[in-house]
Chains A and B, each alone.
Chain A
């Protein structure tokens, strides 16, 4: 069981002058839900396509259970491509049965499994409809059925949650959890970071074709810069500006959020706050995955790549000192939690996190 890992080991891929993957390395263990995040063009889709063999790597290896992945292994992988792919004019059930059989399932088992999954995913009523007549969300469910129908040993899903309504997201989450509970390593990419945070055992953040941060959500957040939120009604603007090791991230109303450099003294900050006015709130917080994601993916990759992972996280906010009380808050409720901004000037690149992923079009 311990050996049942999907290992992506030093995979490289170039398209002419463009380096799509630059030594991508990570592993997904049996029974683990692995979230694969990164901005558009970071190399997520390329990695997945290489795992599935629809793209050849220039270097590196993909292994399953210690052995290089070959066609026989790929037949046991459930795959949901980024570009949804089904025959538009084929009936839903016929299509799923056909795909199950291409994965080596005997006819009877394929039919039973197709029925069961269509039922489970709530599209059984459409089994005799052509796929092109289904709504996008239902097509997505059928696509998931296609990935699951042959009872795969590994699940590789590219953006499985995009375009799903909340109910479908719940169903999808539940299915993924179930599969991982059954010992299946599940790796999926997503731009819905709160979902990844909630769902995944481990998360890998990709930038410029490398894994720049990889670990449990807790590990990643702990490695991020510690922050303190202080609420001091009536404090003069800039009350916390010149403390050593403290960088004001932004101010919203009476509430100020500061980055705390390692070793900086938060008690200094508290004293300064008390001097500025009555302190209503003083709490530590860790950056959310979304914030980590932004800080990591908007910074040019550091030489050394994935080796430089967690320590780099705390210091990847260049120019943060320039951020002042006048900072514009990020659009609330989108990808950033209330009251936190991306580094000045980089906010825009963080804002299109959920835009359609166009990475690595060949």
Chain B
């Protein structure tokens, strides 16, 4: 209190005429008084203010709280989720990580298609004298699945020069013992096999002719004799691609959960540390706030995953990096997205609960480490066991266990080793745990989110309010 102001009212208790002697006052008096104070000229009431007064009075007459329609819980959840969505989709982190993942996947597809799948045909040259060998060579190479292109070279010297220049991969000429093969560095295994067969066949043809037989008929008979292979435990086609798809799916799920799970707890702590949670909870119920946050961040995570996985899938199929039937690849990707959503809820709910239990971002690391660990273990188990042993019994069992299933199941689905009943069972178990988690984490959040200061003990947080 300033001494000056006090001096005025010091001597006389009656010097505050504006203060009524009785608590209540008729509205008329009040109106007169309100315009009285000489403080500052009242600012022109803004339009919102004017309407506010009007509706306030209207509400007063109705004696009914609330000038707006009642707010349904799902509307609150939608508002909260909408805020998360709006803020996070615009954030630099989201844009950059999404773009980075997309570039990574598309780039990988392009690189794989350049390196793998399309080895260009080997060019094999013959001098004119031996060009009769060209057709048998192509026939043998076709039988062995080796891609060759034959062509004639004018003479041996030209052929040798072309080989040393790299224009020609192989130059084949006749030699007393069979065939003479010239290459620049070394003869590739598959071509060596083709040429060896060709050389033997030339010799055989000669011998057959000498013995009076018909080489063409013999060759036909030989070609008809094949192997009848019985695979007791067949490896599906395109095993490497399946493995790649499985690992990529699991990796994206792992990264997504690692990014967005902690984002949930950070979001909760942000509201706690900035104290805005008190303002929020004076008007909405705790569970709607938590649900909105988890759903909002979950939607952001899903959007990112769909963009990345969709983009990656399209890139892989169009570049030919994946030669799997596109229906199979798409099925795997859709399952992965589904498991991502399930996994998000399994992890985001505990993340939200631990976020509510601390008041500062710094305290988050310690308290969320068990959840992070639960995320790392299945990832490590999956990538270290499944590539070498897709049918591993331990992984098969673990992949049914909620918290492990979101990372292990997509890998097994991609590898084609997950029977339908296991899929159904693992999903049901995961959903059951989610139901349980909603109850427990909701209670923890409710009990802990308004408590600031020291970390809230788990036992205290989880007890029934």
Which of A's residues lie within 8 Å of B, judged by CB?
1, 3-4, 29-32, 49, 52-55, 64-65, 67, 71-77, 79, 81, 83-90, 94, 98-99, 101-106, 112-113, 115-117, 119-120, 146, 148, 150-151, 153, 170-171, 173-174, 177-178, 180-184, 193-194, 197-198, 200-202, 215-219, 221-222, 283-286, 288-290, 332-338, 361-362
Contact = CB atoms under 8 A, between A and B. Distances in A.
A188 B293 CA distance: 31
B67 A151 contact: yes
Given A52-B282, A338-B7, A72 B65 contact: yes
10 closest pairs, A vs B, by CB?
Answer: A116-B48, A194-B1, A85-B275, A116-B46, A85-B276, A151-B52, A83-B275, A337-B6, A52-B282, A104-B68
A131 B139 CA distance: 77
A183 B70 CA distance: 22
A102 B278 contact: no
B367 interface: no
A75 B67 CA distance: 10
28 contacts: A52-B282, A72-B65, A74-B283, A76-B65, A77-B282, A81-B275, A84-B275, A85-B275, A85-B280, A86-B274, A87-B274, A90-B87, A103-B68, A113-B52, A120-B49, A153-B60, A174-B39, A174-B43, A181-B30, A193-B1, A194-B2, A216-B21, A217-B19, A288-B1, A336-B1, A337-B1, A337-B3, A338-B6
B147 interface: no
Nearest to A106: B68
A63 B86 CA distance: 37
B366 interface: no
Interface in B20-65: 20-25, 27, 30-31, 34, 37, 39-40, 42-43, 45-49, 51-53, 55-57, 59-60, 63, 65
Contacts of B20: 201, 216, 218
Nearest to B63: A65
Interface stretch (B8-16, B118-126, B340-348): B8-16
B68 A285 contact: no
B151 interface: no
Given A182-B57, A288-B1, A217 B66 contact: no
Nearest to B46: A116
B270 interface: yes
Given A90-B87, A362-B451, A178 B282 contact: no
Given A84-B275, A116-B49, A180-B30, A194 B6 contact: yes
Contact of A85 (B6, B10, B278): B278
B27 A183 contact: yes
B356 to A, nearest CB: 14
A335 B6 CA distance: 10
B279 A79 contact: yes
Contacts of A182: 52-53, 56-57
Contacts of B49: 116-117, 120, 178
A132 B30 CA distance: 38
Contact of A76 (B42, B66, B270): B66
- Bin the interface of chain B by size: 35 or more
Contacts of B282: 52-54, 74, 77, 79, 81
Nearest to B273: A88
A94 to B, nearest CB: 8
A181 B16 contact: no
A299 B323 CA distance: 86
Contacts, number: 223
Contacts of B13: 218, 221-222, 285-286
Nearest to B27: A31
B281 interface: yes
A146 B279 contact: yes
A333 B2 contact: yes
B284 interface: yes
A183 B34 CA distance: 12
Nearest to A224: B13
Nearest to B449: A54
A290 B9 CA distance: 13
A104 B1 CA distance: 40
Nearest to A79: B282
B180 to A, nearest CB: 76
B290 to A, nearest CB: 14
A30 B23 contact: no
Nearest to B73: A71
B5 interface: yes
Contact of B11 (A83, A217, A284): A284
Contacts of A55: 450
Contacts of B67: 76, 151
B280 A102 contact: yes
Given A178-B42, A201-B19, 11 more contacts: A52-B282, A54-B282, A71-B283, A74-B283, A85-B274, A113-B52, A146-B279, A174-B39, A183-B27, A216-B20, A216-B21
Interface in B260-275: 270-271, 274-275
Contacts of A32: 23-25
B71 A75 contact: yes
B226 interface: no
A194 B60 CA distance: 32
A102 B9 contact: no
A216 to B, nearest CB: 5
B42 A174 contact: yes
A183 B54 CA distance: 10
B184 interface: no
Residue in A79, A83, A99 with the greatest tally of chain B CB atoms within 10 Å:
A83
B131 interface: no
A261 B19 CA distance: 26
Contacts of B401: none
Residue in A67, A184, A218, A222 with the greatest tally of chain B CB atoms within 10 Å:
A218
A113 B52 CA distance: 9
Contacts of A215: 23
A115 to B, nearest CB: 7
B285 interface: yes
B453 A362 contact: yes
A58 to B, nearest CB: 13
B37 to A, nearest CB: 7
B48 A115 contact: yes
Contact of A120 (B14, B43, B281): B43
Given A151-B55, A362-B453, A183 B60 contact: yes
A75 B283 contact: yes
